[in-house]
Amino acid sequence: MPDIPSSFPIISTTVSELQSLQKTTVGQLSLRIADLMELDAGLTLVCCAEAGVRRRKAYALAQIGRAARHCGINAAAIDKVGWTKMQIIAPLLQKKGWALQLALAKATSAHRLKLYVQNKLAPDKLRVMTLYFARDDYQQLAVMLTKFGATAKGKALLDKEAALMALVKAVSGSSAG
């Protein structure tokens, strides 16, 4: 750590405190950074940088701390959930229902939690199929899939799985008769 002038004892104390918290608990660190950000965001970022907390992480920790304070969540609860999962759910925490969100975060992996938050939680037993098409064949398939509910977005095709199954059901229904 570079030498901080003795005329700024509060900065050196804050840097030492942040260094200590960073080694022990994410919960206390996030709450402390949130408190400091409310006082002076610029000075807090300087202290965080001196303590070895990068800017992006400092903002994420501050968001976690603010959300936790808003809901009355303590540092121990933050630590039980973990920094990665708290970062996912912090923007969504509300005074009502936060306990359920924390319980969900504790019980699921970060990947599944992210899918849940994005409302894209998939069934457990999915199968993956990789298909390779010639350009013309793909364009023909894309046209058919859009007729059955897929949406073209740039080069991507959204909701193609549901559209493909609708196409399969339409074809199998017409040939079964």
pLDDT, tens only, 47-80: 999 999 999 999 999 999 999 999 999 999 999 9
User: Is residue 124 predicted with pLDDT exceeding 90?
Assistant: no
Band of pLDDT at residue 6, cut at 50, 70 and 90:
very low
Q: What is the mean pLDDT of residues 80-85?
A: 91
Q: What does pTM read for this prediction?
A: 0.62
pLDDT of residue 7: 46
Q: What is the mean pLDDT of residues 14-31?
A: 88
Q: Smallest Cα–Cα separation from 113: which of 128, 126, 101? A: 101
The position carrying tokens 């949406």 is 151
Rounded Cα distance, 143 and 104, in Å: 40
Could you tell me the residue ranges of all domains in the chain?
9-117, 135-176
Band of pLDDT at residue 29, cut at 50, 70 and 90:
very high
- What are the phi and psi torsion angles at 161 (to 5°)? -65, -45
Mean pLDDT of all residues belonging to the chain: 85
What is the secondary structure of 127-170 as a DSSP string? Answer: --------HHHHHHHHHHHHHTT-EEETTEEETHHHHHHHHHHH
Mean pLDDT check: name the lowest of 81-85, 109-113, 123-127, 129-133: 123-127
Band of pLDDT at residue 125, cut at 50, 70 and 90:
low
SS3 assignment, position 106:
helix
